[in-house]
Amino acid sequence: MSKTESTAKAPTILNRKAGHLYFVDERFEVGVMLIGSEIKSIRDGKCSLNEAWVDVSEDKQELWLVGAHIDEYLFANRFNHLPARRRKLLAHSHEIDKMRKAKELKGYTLIPLKLYFKNRYAKVEVGICRGKDLKDKRADVMKRDAKLEMARIAKLHR
């Protein structure tokens, strides 16, 4: 194995709250502009997307990741980053237009669903999401419980 190859797999950071609070209508894979200490911190798994959202700037064709918390990298010294800064997202202009139109509709928002590495590059999966009602959340819990119960019964009868 050469020096450049690594055996450790970079973690996938998931936004678990998004699946509980929103219906995801459409997904986009976008790049994210990060600095070196942020990349190293993400590779260590010290990142949270739970309170994050995506903002579309009105004047320019730009997407911004807001509210994502990436911990400071311990060994970066004075070259460290701010943990909760806004980070620019990179997407095609037609995708940005689609996201802007969806955000203008009532009840839709742009939520980062996961952050992962693909061929050395950090990627964010952004979803066009619609909020769930309380009855929808309860229905999801009932489906999950029924599925677990069926799996438990199937395991007993093997």
CATH topology of domain 13-133: Small Protein B; Chain: A; (2.40.280)
Could you tell me which residues are beta bridge partners of residue 108?
A: 130
Q: Which of 9, 48, 54 is nearest to 28 (CA)?
A: 54
- Residue 43: band (very low, low, confident or very high) from pLDDT cuts 50, 70, 90: confident
Say whether 158 sits in a helix, a strand or coil. Answer: coil
Q: Which of 10, 47, 55 is nearest to 30 (CA)?
A: 55
Q: Would the pLDDT of 30 be above 90?
A: yes
Say whether 145 sits in a helix, a strand or coil. Answer: helix
- Residue 6: band (very low, low, confident or very high) from pLDDT cuts 50, 70, 90: low
Q: Would the pLDDT of 84 be above 70?
A: yes
**5 vs 127: CA distance, rounded Å:** 32
Q: Would the pLDDT of 151 be above 90?
A: yes
- Residue 104: band (very low, low, confident or very high) from pLDDT cuts 50, 70, 90: confident
How long a stretch of residues is the chain? Answer: 158
DSSP 83-117: TT--EEEE--HHHHHHHHHHHHSTTEEEEEEEEEE
Number of H helices and E strands in the chain, helices first, is: 4, 9
Q: Would the pLDDT of 66 be above 60?
A: yes
**5 vs 1: CA distance, rounded Å:** 7
- Residue 7: band (very low, low, confident or very high) from pLDDT cuts 50, 70, 90: low
Q: Would the pLDDT of 99 be above 70?
A: yes
Between 6 and 33, the more confident residue is 33
Q: Are 24 and 38 in contact (CB under 8 A)?
A: no
Average pLDDT over residues 134-140: 84
pLDDT of residue 75: 75
pLDDT of residue 8: 63
Q: Would the pLDDT of 92 be above 90?
A: yes
